[in-house]
Structures are given as C-alpha cells and as structure tokens.
Amino acid sequence: MSHAVYSQPMEYAWYCARTKQKREFIAAGNLRKNLGMDVFLPRLRIERATQRGAVRVIEPLFPGYIFVRCVLEEKINEIKYTNGISTLVHFGLEIPKVADSIIEELQKYFEAEEPMTVENHLLPGEEVEVAEGAFAGMSAYVLRSLPARQRIQVLLDILGQSTPVEVNRNSVVPARNSLAYMAPILAAPAMARI
C-alpha cells in the first residue's frame, strides 16, 4: 500500500479537495461543523438556463472543488472520509499545497464568502444556450450584441443550416463557466504551471 508524500511536514496550509458531484456545499459544511476546519468555497451568482427560462443561481466558482486549511498529516483521513469529499487533489503520491497568496487573492474578491454577482457580457464567438422561447435548449454562438434593444444576434443550427437569429439578451446564458476547470491547476506544483 502506497502512502502520500506531503508537501511540507506539520504546518497549516491550504489544500484543494475534490468533492462528489454537486456536493461542494455539503462537504464544506461538514468540514467546518464536524472537524472545525477553515474552508474556502468561492461562489458566483450567475444566470443558468432552466425549463422556466434564465434564473439566477449560486454556484461554486470551481465546481467539484473546495479549499481546506489544516495540518494535513493530522487530518488527512478525516478529510478523506468526510461526507461529500471524494479525494484530496494529488499529483502522483504528492498532495500539494495551494499557495497562501492564491487563496488570499481569491478571498479579496469573495469577502465573507458572499457570492460574487457575475454579469454576463457575451462576446462574439461565445457559445450560449437559449433558455426560453421557441429555441429553448438549443446551443448557439453569439454573432453580435445589440445593447440598445437588449437583444443579441446568435447563430443557430436550424434544420442543418446556420441561421442568424435575434433573441432577447436575457433568454440566453453562457454554455459553461470557463473558471470551473482551474481549481486543480491552482494546486499544481509551481513547475507544472510554467
């Protein structure tokens, strides 16, 4: 049986934990309540496509990941077996620290862990999903913004033809959160990020 290699022995540090799908809030709550640990879960208030149209929801900045501060050697097993946690982010056998400077920078923008409201400024070429109207559920690409009319022009695939269509700006949402995939990168050893 192999054992993980720790970044630095016996000191408080931030680590990145992978959560089970859609369990970020549960994992963070359990680590705080049951283990008394510092947990950082930056969140965004954004618009998402639903069957009822575009609605504002609160989602993690890094879906599937949370940051936890602890002396890893003392808490590793408790963290691993916490409800909502899948694993600690690791590279081979190494469980790297997340630099304090990275967490501090994120905390400047997410004070008191209040969700940051993100206004969607859609750019040409960006993939969106139509959330309401006749084209609900369809993917499209933004061609241009028409701010005076609160509309955008998108390129939809209709019956095999790429067709430009004007839709209400509030009826589309970005197809994905591009920041969502950065949490493991933030935990990567410095050399791996160069």
In a domain, 145, yes or no: yes
Distance, CA of 104 to CA of 95 (rounded, Å):
20
> Which amino acid, 189?
P
Answer whether residue 159 shows pLDDT above 50: yes
Q: Return the pLDDT at 26.
A: 96
Pairing of strands 85-88, 12-19: antiparallel
Q: In this structure, are 49 and 91 located in the same domain? A: yes
Distant-in-sequence, close-in-space partners of 148: CB < 8 Å, separation ≥ 6: none
Answer whether residue 120 shows pLDDT above 60: no
- Of 135, 100, 140, 101, the residue nearest 124 (C-alpha): 140
Higher-confidence residue of 117 and 147: namely: 147
Q: In this structure, are 160 and 70 located in the same domain? A: no
Q: In the chain, how many H helices and how many E strands?
A: 4, 14
Answer whether residue 191 shows pLDDT above 50: no
Answer whether residue 87 shows pLDDT above 80: yes
Q: Give residue 155's domain range.
A: 127-174
Q: Tell me: the pLDDT tens digits for 61-85?
A: 899 999 999 999 999 999 999 999 9
The CATH number assigned to the domain holding 138 equals 2.30.30.30
Answer whether residue 125 shows pLDDT above 80: yes
DSSP letter for 53, please. Answer: E
The rounded mean pLDDT for the chain is 80
The CATH number assigned to the domain holding 72 equals 3.30.70.940
Report the pLDDT averaged over residues 136-149.
81
Q: Return the pLDDT at 51.
A: 61
pTM of the model: 0.61
- Of 172, 176, 142, 138, the residue nearest 157 (C-alpha): 138
Q: Return the pLDDT at 18.
A: 96
**First-to-final CA distance of the chain:** 32
